[in-house]
A and B are shown apart, each in its own frame.
Chain A
Amino acid sequence: MRQDAALVRMERIGKRYGGVQACRAVDFTLGAGEVHALLGENGAGKSTLMKILSGDVTDFDGQIEIDGTPVSFGGPTDAQAAGIAMIHQELDLVPGLSVADNIFLGRELRTPLRTVDRRRMDREARALLERSGVRIDPRRPVGDLRVGEQQLVTIAKAISLDARVLIMDEPTSALTTTEVERLFEVIRELRRAGVGIVYISHRMEEIAQVADRATVLRNGEIVTSFDPRKLSTAEVVEAMVGRPVQTMFTTPDTDTGDELLRVDDLKLTARRPRPGRRDPDGISLTVRAGEIVGLAGLLGAGRTELLETLYGVAPTGTRSGRILLQGKEIRPRSPRQALAQGIGLVPEDRRASGLVLFHSILANTVLSSLPAYGRLGVIARRLERGASVKMADRLRLKFGRLQDEVGTLSGGNQQKVVFGRMLLTEPKLLLLDEPTRGVDVGAKAEIYRLLGELAGQGLGVLLASSELPELIGVCDRVVVLRDGRDVASFSTADSGEGDLLAAAMGEAAVIGDVL
């Protein structure tokens, strides 16, 4: 499958950001028709290396050859002209434009009169999407789509570029199992067509399925290269973090206490319903103190919408049913009110709704708990510093200085900052929406450890996730949502991923097809 002359050869690549050496003398090759997996913790240098290849980063050490010819990219356009396309982890789509417009952005199809040929664009977009196994109306605005659907749109867009080199940075982080399976079929098809694919992921089982070769980066350097079908997950993870780690995450089952949250037949009818949103349509569940309850469900089952309703950020409309916190009925109207009552939320998309990326780590960490550090609205810097240093320690945050922009941290560490901000409010109930999306193994383990610790202290956690192993491993109990309703509840002690999936998809679905 691999050919002798490498399609891409990167030699002795080095890149430094301030005090952080993101890449150090990295050699990387990619053959035509090869799927080369790139592994490493967040901050290991994978994204930097690929940004260099895709022309996003132009000042670096070392050199790049394409088909044996040295190239120098002045920007992403040059790289695209050389046949290199990148699917970013951060989805670079224009929310207000339709799916088709986004796919053909900058190279719109024209009619003979040079006007935009909308019909042809819609048709071709539909065909592209179907090739990636999704049914999305190409005329819908991208902003109305769920994150997972947006991810599929970016993949369709990259495929439409007819690139020779395709870089996929965590392409499956918001996809359901079925969608992942379809994506792999597309990848195999591209490989047969001679496209070289760089596949960045944290999910070992995916890499074993789809990659021909895997390379592990740690602290900006290559640690090892191997055949992904031959090495065990434990060995790879050890190479990534530099020490042995438990691969199956479990949190100790703690004694659960009194009922903390009770949701009774919660329904929300939005005054102006938005397409693609699935507001609660009769959800009942409970969370006890010290209990971690998972929320499973397919994309669009209404997990995020439930968390938003509990946190007071749902769209306005009529609500029926009851929400009880420690036996008292609450009507969450704003995050401020929810926080005051002891409910915290770690949102799904930390860059868009979690952080002010260009503000400091300090400012982001203390944003929700400012009144605690001063009097009469005046902040005592010593107190807020002390609090954030302590929180950073507790979360094992990797950072330079508290004044650094939070956007300079790796994804896992950014997520820890969002966690820290919520924990500083001392919540009783923590709502988590895909808290480990795009987070590496090491940071994941630390987040799970933290969840176990928090549950041990009597905090209740409601964890929405599309990663079944995570739900099974971390939660005491999992509630499955489908179409805005709770359809099943499992104790994780005596049920597996298959049970959850079957419930999430409904009886009609054939489980074997998905797994």
Chain B
Amino acid sequence: MTEKPSVVATLFRFQSVFGLLAVFVAAIIFSPRKNGAILFVSADNLANVVRAVSEIGIIAVGMTFVILIGGIDLSVGAVLGLAAVGSAVLMVENDWGFLPSVLLVLVTGTIFGALQGVATAMIGIQSFIVTLAGLQIARGLARIWSGGQGVAISYGDGPKEAPTSFALLGERTFGGLVPIPVLIFAVVAIAAVVFLRVSAFSRHLYAVGGNEKAARLSGVPVVRVKIAVFAICGLLASLAGIVHAVQLNQGSPNDGIGYELDAIAAVVIGGTSLAGGRGSVAGTVAGALLLGVLNNILALNNIDSNIQLLIKGLVIVAAAALQRLRPAS
């Protein structure tokens, strides 16, 4: 009599996917129409939705890793800004090539994340505090590196111009439809899903988040897992920063302010537990898309941006509330 029908369990398990579906359907219904065509489902608009989501999405994948081990990373938005500035300064002001610039930016983000991992895993400071400090430090570094203002990126072969190959990253579409940033997000997401599915490391990661003491006693290298996870999160945040720079054709130290909160929202809507040890990247991707569709349809209907914030807030609470209703096992 108490056995829950598996349908309910499935609904809850993929709650973010069904949520996304529901929001998608609602978007179609409430979409403005033009000459009988539903604007929301037009190829251009859908491509825009995913393009707009891709940066937050990439960050949110890294955030999922951190939250799975029971941590949090508040520095991702600032690291994104640091990476955007880095890309612009290196290519425009220092006349570096495409590959060395991107590599240095990614390495910087990775090391930044790893250092935060060291502080939380080896010194034992809570990740909330470590990354709160990291946020300030990354912002400060970005200001110093950029001289305090945005660096515009123009493309060409001359001095003070970024290589045109960098512009292609933002403009060229794959198969004539999928923008490159979306492709990067997709590759990151799929790689993360596969990685969490097959790797021994992911078992360690889930175990650390599920019961750190039991994990340590089982021989899981807890410190190494934590450092690696924060490094991955830093790497993905800096990757998102490169995508950001190329989409806006500039790198500003104020880029990515508040992105950490959107990323956390996507993870939470995706059903990953803030307590750690439970959740998935697939859920996060659905959560990020859900937020993107929501933003898009509200914008299409010219809903006041303040109202948009209200609605977003309510969606986050609703998603969290749904998780509380989830059957125990």
Interface residues of A (CB under 8 A from B): 15-19, 59, 61, 311, 313, 334-336, 338-340, 345, 347, 352-359, 363, 366-368, 370-371, 373-374, 377-379, 404-405, 407-408, 421, 425
A336 with B219: in contact, given A355-B211, A379-B203 (CB under 8 Å)? Answer: yes
- 26 A-B contact pairs sorted by A residue (CB < 8 Å): A16-B1, A17-B2, A59-B1, A59-B2, A311-B217, A313-B216, A334-B216, A335-B216, A352-B211, A353-B211, A353-B214, A354-B217, A355-B211, A356-B207, A358-B278, A359-B206, A359-B277, A367-B215, A368-B219, A370-B204, A371-B200, A373-B200, A378-B198, A378-B200, A379-B198, A408-B329
Q: Which residues from chain B contact A366 at a C-beta distance below 8 Å?
A: 203
From B275, which residue of chain A is reached at the shortest CB distance? A358
Task: Mark interface residues in B188-223 (1 if CB within 8 Å of A CB, else 0).
Answer: 000000000011110110110011011111111100
Q: A367 and B277: CB pair below 8 A?
A: no
Q: A18 and B3: CB pair below 8 A?
A: yes
Q: Which residues from chain B contact A379 at a C-beta distance below 8 Å?
A: 198-200, 203
**Complex alpha-carbon distance, A367 and B213, angstroms:** 13
**Complex alpha-carbon distance, A421 and B215, angstroms:** 12
What are the nearest 5 A-B pairs in CB distance?
A356-B210, A370-B200, A339-B219, A336-B219, A356-B211
| Other-chain contact of A377, B2, B3, B199, B277 (Cβ < 8 Å) | B199
Q: Which residues from chain B contact A16 at a C-beta distance below 8 Å?
A: 1-3
**Complex alpha-carbon distance, A313 and B214, angstroms:** 12
**Complex alpha-carbon distance, A345 and B217, angstroms:** 8
From B198, which residue of chain A is reached at the shortest CB distance? A378
| Other-chain contact of B217, A19, A353, A359, A378 (Cβ < 8 Å) | A353
| Other-chain contact of A359, B2, B199, B200, B207 (Cβ < 8 Å) | B207
Q: Which residues from chain A contact B2 at a C-beta distance below 8 Å?
A: 15-17, 59
**Complex alpha-carbon distance, A334 and B329, angstroms:** 33
**Complex alpha-carbon distance, A379 and B214, angstroms:** 21
Q: Which of B2, B207, B218 has the most CB of A within 10 A?
A: B218
Q: Which residues from chain A contact B201 at a C-beta distance below 8 Å?
A: 377
Q: Which residues from chain A contact B277 at a C-beta distance below 8 Å?
A: 356, 358-359
Q: B219 and A425: CB pair below 8 A?
A: yes
Q: A367 and B198: CB pair below 8 A?
A: no
**Complex alpha-carbon distance, A74 and B221, angstroms:** 44
**Complex alpha-carbon distance, A363 and B200, angstroms:** 11
Interface residues on B, range: 20 to 34
Q: Main SS of the interface on chain A?
A: mixed
Q: Which residues from chain B contact A354 at a C-beta distance below 8 Å?
A: 214, 217
Q: Which of B204, B214, B329 has the most CB of A within 10 A?
A: B214
Interface residues of B (CB under 8 A from A): 1-3, 198-201, 203-204, 206-207, 210-211, 213-221, 277-278, 329
Q: Which residues from chain A contact B329 at a C-beta distance below 8 Å?
A: 18, 358, 404-405, 407-408
From B223, which residue of chain A is reached at the shortest CB distance? A334
Q: A352 and B213: CB pair below 8 A?
A: yes
Q: Which of B3, B200, B278, B329 has the most CB of A within 10 A?
A: B200
Q: B220 and A336: CB pair below 8 A?
A: yes
Q: A367 and B203: CB pair below 8 A?
A: yes
Q: Which residues from chain A contact B221 at a C-beta distance below 8 Å?
A: 334, 336
Q: Which residues from chain A contact B213 at a C-beta distance below 8 Å?
A: 352-353
A359 with B219: in contact, given A15-B2, A379-B200 (CB under 8 Å)? Answer: no
**Complex alpha-carbon distance, A311 and B2, angstroms:** 43
Q: Which residues from chain B contact A367 at a C-beta distance below 8 Å?
A: 203, 207, 215, 218-220
Known contacts A338-B219, A354-B214, A374-B200; 11 further A-B pairs (Cβ under 8 A): A313-B216, A313-B217, A352-B214, A355-B211, A356-B206, A358-B278, A359-B207, A359-B277, A370-B203, A371-B200, A379-B199
**Complex alpha-carbon distance, A25 and B323, angstroms:** 33
**Complex alpha-carbon distance, A311 and B213, angstroms:** 14
Q: B200 and A421: CB pair below 8 A?
A: no
Min CB distance, B326 to chain A, in Å? 12
Q: Which residues from chain B contact A374 at a C-beta distance below 8 Å?
A: 200
Q: Which residues from chain A contact B219 at a C-beta distance below 8 Å?
A: 334-336, 338-340, 367-368, 425
Q: B215 and A356: CB pair below 8 A?
A: yes
Min CB distance, B263 to chain A, in Å? 24
A377 with B218: in contact, given A61-B1, A356-B207, A359-B206 (CB under 8 Å)? Answer: no
**Complex alpha-carbon distance, A16 and B199, angstroms:** 36
Min CB distance, B290 to chain A, in Å? 25
Min CB distance, A356 to chain B, in Å? 3
Q: A421 and B218: CB pair below 8 A?
A: yes
Q: Which residues from chain B contact A363 at a C-beta distance below 8 Å?
A: 203, 206-207
**Complex alpha-carbon distance, A19 and B6, angstroms:** 13
Min CB distance, A48 to chain B, in Å? 12
A355 with B198: in contact, given A15-B2, A339-B219 (CB under 8 Å)? Answer: no
Q: Which residues from chain A contact B204 at a C-beta distance below 8 Å?
A: 370
Q: Which residues from chain B contact A339 at a C-beta distance below 8 Å?
A: 219
**Complex alpha-carbon distance, A269 and B198, angstroms:** 43
**Complex alpha-carbon distance, A196 and B1, angstroms:** 31
| Other-chain contact of B211, A19, A59, A357, A373 (Cβ < 8 Å) | A357
**Complex alpha-carbon distance, A367 and B198, angstroms:** 14
Q: Which residues from chain B contact A356 at a C-beta distance below 8 Å?
A: 206-207, 210-211, 214-215, 277
Q: Which residues from chain B contact A61 at a C-beta distance below 8 Å?
A: 1
**Complex alpha-carbon distance, A366 and B278, angstroms:** 18
**Complex alpha-carbon distance, A353 and B3, angstroms:** 30
**Complex alpha-carbon distance, A345 and B2, angstroms:** 38
From A19, which residue of chain B is reached at the shortest CB distance? B3
From A422, which residue of chain B is reached at the shortest CB distance? B218
**Complex alpha-carbon distance, A379 and B278, angstroms:** 19
Q: Which of B201, B210, B278 has the most CB of A within 10 A?
A: B210
| Other-chain contact of B214, A340, A355, A407, A408 (Cβ < 8 Å) | A355
**Complex alpha-carbon distance, A19 and B4, angstroms:** 11
Q: A368 and B200: CB pair below 8 A?
A: no
**Complex alpha-carbon distance, A116 and B85, angstroms:** 55
**Complex alpha-carbon distance, A345 and B214, angstroms:** 11
Q: Which residues from chain A contact B200 at a C-beta distance below 8 Å?
A: 370-371, 373-374, 377-379
Q: Which residues from chain A contact B220 at a C-beta distance below 8 Å?
A: 336, 367-368
**Complex alpha-carbon distance, A187 and B214, angstroms:** 35
Min CB distance, B103 to chain A, in Å? 23
Q: Which residues from chain B contact A359 at a C-beta distance below 8 Å?
A: 206-207, 210, 277
**Complex alpha-carbon distance, A16 and B214, angstroms:** 29
Min CB distance, A62 to chain B, in Å? 12
From B208, which residue of chain A is reached at the shortest CB distance? A356
**Complex alpha-carbon distance, A425 and B217, angstroms:** 13
From B221, which residue of chain A is reached at the shortest CB distance? A336
Min CB distance, B203 to chain A, in Å? 6
Min CB distance, B166 to chain A, in Å? 33
Q: A358 and B217: CB pair below 8 A?
A: no
Q: A335 and B217: CB pair below 8 A?
A: yes
Q: Which residues from chain B contact A357 at a C-beta distance below 8 Å?
A: 210-211
Min CB distance, A379 to chain B, in Å? 5
**Complex alpha-carbon distance, A407 and B329, angstroms:** 10
Q: Which residues from chain B contact A407 at a C-beta distance below 8 Å?
A: 329
| Other-chain contact of A368, B199, B206, B211, B218 (Cβ < 8 Å) | B218
Q: Which residues from chain B contact A15 at a C-beta distance below 8 Å?
A: 2
Q: Which residues from chain A contact B1 at a C-beta distance below 8 Å?
A: 16, 59, 61
Min CB distance, A182 to chain B, in Å? 31
Min CB distance, A6 to chain B, in Å? 27
Q: B203 and A347: CB pair below 8 A?
A: no
